[in-house]
A and B are shown apart, each in its own frame.
Chain A
Amino acid sequence: EAGVVQSPRYKIIEKKQPVAFWCNPISGHNTLYWYLQNLGQGPELLIRYENEEAVDDSQLPKDRFSAERLKGVDSTLKIQPAELGDSAVYLCASSRRDGEETQYFGPGTRLLVL
């Protein structure tokens, strides 16, 4: 079974530029999560999708961050414009359904904003 796929693995941009991350969850997993991980910290949830519906986006900074999961499978997380403080690892995870506690993570996208 293929794991969670994320791209790109690394991204370097200048501040004020836009950036997008893509995630393909494990096949059959209805719930998809985006996490932010800063250096020396544990992952923190940004947004959680149940199929195509965002069921928890309370931690997503909506002034510059947006996400979509149009067909309930792949998802895209966008930052526009990026700020220096956005430099971090962005992790995508999936689980079979909401209430299935075990989440499986992708390798992450490491973002550096200069």
Chain B
Amino acid sequence: GNSVTQMEGPVTLSEEAFLTINCTYTATGYPSLFWYVQYPGEGLQLLLKATKADDKGSNKGFEATYRKETTSFHLEKGSVQVSDSAVYFCALSYAGGTSYGKLTFGQGTILTVHP
């Protein structure tokens, strides 16, 4: 079956540090890939997405590139802020007939940024 594996956390950084959160996936066919962010007490918000190989998703300074050869979708940001502290989820949706409405999530990575 389809699965997503994220790097183990939590991740603790100082403000303005470089961020990488690794994400790899297992899926048949050509899934779409997503990064979602969850702030305390809230639901999930879409951060960025990529729908085909070599696509780069970007938003709010975050970037991730869909690498089919390494089945990866690593999240990066050049300079994190305290306000980026949240839980980050990598996810895939598979355009298959039995996959309506289904996102498969990684386990989530807690990011804490200190001033």
Please indicate whether A and B come from the same complex rather than being unrelated chains.
Answer: no
Binding site for A on B (CB under 8 A): none
* A residues lining the B interface (CB < 8 Å): none
